[in-house]
């Protein structure tokens, strides 16, 4: 079914839009109301080049430490092409296709604001690449997050730009219809003309923390999904371990007043409603990993909410330098500043890293309790009958522990790790790209930690019900449905088998959202 395209106007791009473009190949178009702004700012650049004055950074000067070197009008195109070539210095494995698509969409949206002085055709070319499936190869490493993501964005620009010589080996690489080839060849096959950049346009393409924002937007969407699944994991573990319901009482959480905490407790209450396992023993209190789950997951929710605000602002921000403001008095309508600095994204991603790592950390503690006969209130050691011959979920818990430890290293705050660059002209940088990459890796790890908890909790529930001689009707209204969905994908562990297969099946349940819609 053909749906209306997502319109880029520089103002209204959402995280959900980015996810739809990146992961579901949603079509994109330039909004008509953005075109007059784009044309007006471009006209001023053309006038500046024709006059030769005033002196404006990056338009008639060199870049970075060469900002004081004048550039004549007849060298503008060469300056732009050299900028893209010289800055294509990223290294490492290619960024995933979804990150590349998100980057292209965000960059096009940034330019659509009309402060960057580019021709509309530059934005339209990015959009056509998205719509026709031309995905440049962008090495993952090489940005310090100021002056934006210069190196990776230059690799993005290689394929869509050209000079008179149009050398194939200077067009980068791209994926088109599943095949890796030169950027020039991919654009030819997709019937998209490549551009000879004019003044300011190369700088507008590579100057901004856009790869950071793309990584951040996708990590954020996944973190929100994890928080919802964390509530479900708690509820299932509570059933398996015959825990107490009182820690989730509304009065407790309203007394604290934290919105995320209130939401998590409400979700868990809804999931366990009607349970005959919860509160079925005489225990007075559960351990913190169960009792304090709303306080921990809720705090993570609030942190994720802050990150959403910052990332939403960033994907609608004008981030190159200089920017053009036609309402300014005087001849010079440009202002040189630092919107390319990724500090906002870096700090938000460092906070997101900590939040998601905590979701994973407390989840692993519940897995540990479930797999220990000394802590699980009567469940067999390692959640398997015939322990000894069978090892059960022993190594699944070890894997969860390994991932938690990995998260602790990845959660080191990247934003405080500035290294001066460009002969000390760029003497404080954000490391936003590293922060966002590490956030995505923590999300990946934590998805698997929660997957292991879902497996362990479902196993614990089955063993508990078997021991009591009861059926699944004694579970809560939400946990009963979730348990059934897990069992459709992952059978009860009656003997040892390859657990990595089960873990990845549970990961797919989380990523596809099949278990959601229950309790929240």
Does 520 have pLDDT greater than 80? no
Task: Look up tokens 């005087």; give the residue.
Answer: 330
Task: Look up tokens 């620009």; give the residue.
Answer: 157
Q: pLDDT, tens digit, for every residue of 425-476?
A: 889 999 999 999 999 999 999 999 999 999 999 999 999 999 999 999 999 9
pTM: 0.97
Report the phi/psi class of residue 12: left, alpha or beta, with left for phi > 0 and alpha for psi in -120 to 50.
alpha
Closest to 90 measured CA to CA, from 144, 42, 138: 138
- Residues spanned by CATH 1.20.200.10 within the chain? 214-512
Please report, for residues 125, 153, 206, 421, the alpha-carbon distance to residue 169 in angstroms, rounded to integers and kept in the order given.
20, 18, 20, 28
Closest to 294 measured CA to CA, from 216, 211, 359, 391: 359
What is the pLDDT of the chain when averaged over all its residues? 96
- Going across the sheet that includes 134-136, the strands are 134-136, 173-176, 179-182
Does 152 have pLDDT greater than 80? yes
Euclidean distance between the first and final Cα of the chain, in Å?
Answer: 29
Closest to 488 measured CA to CA, from 454, 460, 444: 454
With beta carbons less than 8 A apart as the criterion, state whether 518 and 232 touch: yes
Please name the fold of domain 6-207: Fumarase C; Chain B, domain 1 (1.10.275)
Does 518 have pLDDT greater than 60? no
- Residues spanned by CATH 1.10.275.10 within the chain? 6-207
Does 185 have pLDDT greater than 70? yes
Confidence of residue 517 (pLDDT cuts 50, 70, 90): low
Please report, for residues 66, 363, 406, 407, 439, the alpha-carbon distance to residue 445 in angstroms, rounded to integers and kept in the order given.
43, 12, 8, 7, 10
Positions of E strands within 98-160: 134-136, 139-141
pLDDT of residue 519: 39
Q: pLDDT, tens digit, for every residue of 68-110?
A: 888 888 888 899 999 999 999 999 999 999 999 999 999 999 9
Tokens of 124: 């339209």
Q: Which of 57, 176, 288, 306 is catalytic?
A: 57
Tokens of 107: 């960059």
Q: pLDDT, tens digit, for every residue of 290-327?
A: 999 999 999 999 999 999 999 999 999 999 999 999 99
Burial annotation 205-216 (CB, 10 A radius, 16+ → b, else e)? bbbbbbbbbbbb
Average pLDDT score over residue span 34-45: 97
Does 403 have pLDDT greater than 90? yes
Give the contacts of 488 (CB within 8 A, at least 6 positions apart).
none
Q: Work out the percent of the chain whose per-residue pLDDT is above 90.
A: 91
Average pLDDT score over residue span 31-58: 94
Confidence of residue 481 (pLDDT cuts 50, 70, 90): very high
Report the CATH number of the 214-512 domain.
1.20.200.10
Beta bridge pairs of residue 7: 29
β 28-30/6-8 pair status: parallel
pLDDT of residue 2: 66
Measured distance CA(325)–CA(116) in Å, rounded:
9
Angle 92-67-327 from CA coordinates, rounded to 5°:
105
Q: Is 288 a catalytic residue?
A: no
Q: pLDDT, tens digit, for every residue of 205-261?
A: 999 999 999 999 999 999 999 999 999 999 999 999 999 999 999 999 999 999 999
Confidence of residue 1 (pLDDT cuts 50, 70, 90): low
Phi, psi angle pair for 42, to nearest 5°: -65, -40
Measured distance CA(230)–CA(233) in Å, rounded:
5
Give the contacts of 412 (CB within 8 A, at least 6 positions apart).
none
Please report, for residues 165, 206, 407, the alpha-carbon distance to residue 168 in angstroms, rounded to integers and kept in the order given.
9, 21, 41
Does 203 have pLDDT greater than 60? yes
């Amino acid at each position: 079914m053909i749906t209306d395209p997502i319109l880029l106007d520089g103002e209204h791009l959402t995280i959900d839009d980015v996810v739809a473009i990146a992961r579901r190949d949603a079509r994109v178009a330039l909004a008509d109301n953005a075109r007059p702004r784009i044309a007006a700012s471009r006209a001023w650049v053309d006038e500046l080049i024709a006059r030769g004055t005033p002196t404006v950074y990056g338009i008639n000067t060199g870049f970075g430490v060469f900002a004081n070197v004048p550039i004549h009008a007849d060298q503008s195109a060469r300056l732009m092409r050299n900028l893209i070539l010289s800055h294509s210095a990223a290294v490492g494995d290619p960024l995933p296709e979804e990150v590349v698509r998100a980057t292209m969409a965000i960059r096009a949206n940034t330019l659509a604001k009309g402060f960057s002085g580019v021709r509309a055709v530059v934005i339209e070319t990015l959009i056509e690449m998205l719509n026709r499936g031309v995905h440049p190869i962008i090495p993952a490493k090489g940005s310090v997050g100021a002056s934006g993501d210069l190196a990776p964005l230059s690799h993005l620009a290689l394929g869509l730009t050209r000079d008179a010589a149009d050398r194939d080996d200077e067009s980068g690489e791209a994926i088109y219809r599943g095949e890796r080839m030169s950027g020039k060849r991919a654009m030819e096959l997709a019937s998209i003309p490549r551009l000879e950049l004019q003044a300011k346009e190369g700088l507008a393409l590579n100057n901004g923390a856009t790869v950071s924002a793309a990584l951040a937007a996708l990590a954020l969407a996944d973190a929100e999904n994890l928080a919802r699944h964390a509530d479900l994991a708690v509820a299932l573990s509570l059933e398996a371990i015959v825990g107490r319901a009182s820690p989730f009482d509304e009065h407790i959480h309203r007394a604290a007043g934290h919105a995320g905490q209130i939401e998590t407790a409400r979700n868990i209450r809804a999931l366990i409603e009607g349970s005959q396992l919860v509160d079925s023993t005489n225990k007075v209190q559960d351990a913190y990993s169960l009792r304090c789950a709303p306080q921990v997951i809720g705090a993570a929710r609030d942190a994720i909410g802050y990150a959403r605000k910052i990332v939403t602002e960033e994907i609608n921000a004008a981030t190159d330098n200089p920017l053009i403001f036609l309402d300014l008095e005087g001849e010079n309508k440009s202002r040189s500043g630092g919107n390319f600095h990724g500090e906002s994204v870096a700090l938000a991603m460092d906070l997101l890293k900590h939040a998601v790592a905590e979701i994973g950390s407390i989840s692993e503690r519940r897995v540990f309790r479930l797999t220990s006969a000394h802590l699980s209130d009567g469940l067999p050691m390692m959640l398997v009958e015939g322990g000894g011959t069978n090892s059960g979920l022993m190594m699944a818990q070890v894997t969860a522990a390994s991932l938690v430890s990995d998260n602790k290293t990845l959660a080191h705050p990247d934003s405080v790790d500035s290294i001066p660059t460009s002969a000390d002209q760029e003497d404080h940088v954000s490391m936003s790209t590293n922060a966002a990459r590490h956030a995505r890796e923590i999300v990946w790890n934590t998805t698997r930690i929660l997957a292991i908890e879902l497996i362990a909790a479902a196993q614990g529930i089955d063993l508990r019900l078997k021991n009591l001689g009861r059926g699944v009707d004694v579970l809560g209204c939400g946990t009963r449905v979730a348990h059934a969905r897990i069992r459709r994908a992952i059978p009860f562990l009656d003997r040892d088998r390859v657990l990595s297969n089960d873990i990845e099946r549970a990961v797919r349940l989380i990523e596809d959202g099949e278990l959601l819609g229950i309790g929240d």
